[in-house]
Amino acid sequence: MSTPRDQLSLSQPSVSVVPDTGHIRSDRIETSVRTIADLHGVFADEAARSSIDQDQIVYHVERYQPVPDGTSGGLFFGTSFLQPGTVGGEYFMTKGHFHARPETAEYYWCVAGEGALILMDSDRSARAEFMQPGSLHYIPGYTAHRLANTGSTPLIVGACWPADAGHDYASIARDGFSVRLVQGEHGPVLVSAD
């Protein structure tokens, strides 16, 4: 016969992720929004970008950051919502970045929509992976990463990265990616940008 033990109470987690939409439910979510105006210099066709409604939202990110930015050993969680669209034949995409601590890795996984994850090493060698619901993408250290939406619905992508990874946007703002994802006759085509 077992001896009686103290009963410990279980609690509800303070954060959840809506399965089909990727939205994060918590009272401490941080959200950032990027409009067409924010993406100056990102697309090859700057004239086309400047002719679009500058207030149009291209993507937004919901982030759950349970520890202070920069905490060694901590993890952040986020969902990116990238709208469908093109600028001069180039698919809507995120700014893209290396991590400020370049050795840090990250996981992406696709919740909904279709698109591509564009990856570039520090020697500018680039590649891209298709994204579809359920696809999981390991982004190694020293690798710039950018999402592109090739579909007609929002591309929704979950992410988990180290709390001390930080973001290096300056390298991409200065040098760009070495490839661009453009509309081809039969679908997306990765072309050289260098």
Residue 137 found at the interface with ligand S6P (CB under 6 A):
no
Determine the residue type at 149: N
Find the binder of ligand S6P among 86, 94, 149, 150 (CB under 6 A).
94
Q: Contact, 148 vs 176, CB < 8 A?
A: no
Q: Which of residues 50-69 bind ligand S6P (CB under 6 A)?
A: 61
For residues 170 and 165, give the distance between their C-alpha atoms in angstroms, rounded to a whole number.
15
> Which parts of this chain interact with Zn ion (CB under 5 A)?
106
Q: Which of residues 172-191 bind ligand S6P (CB under 6 A)?
A: none
Q: Contact, 62 vs 55, CB < 8 A?
A: no
Q: Contact, 190 vs 179, CB < 8 A?
A: yes
Look at residues 27, 23, 2, 1 and name the one whose alpha carbon lies nearest to residue 13.
Answer: 27
Q: Contact, 29 vs 66, CB < 8 A?
A: no
CB of 138 to Zn ion, least distance (A): 12
Find the binder of ligand S6P among 62, 106, 114, 164 (CB under 6 A).
106
Binding range to ligand S6P, per CB under 6 A, among 64-72, 92-100, 109-117, 129-137 = 92-100
Give 36 or 144: the residue with its C-beta nearer to Zn ion: 144
Contacting positions for ligand S6P (CB under 6 A): 61, 78, 80, 94-97, 106, 145, 147, 159, 161, 165, 167
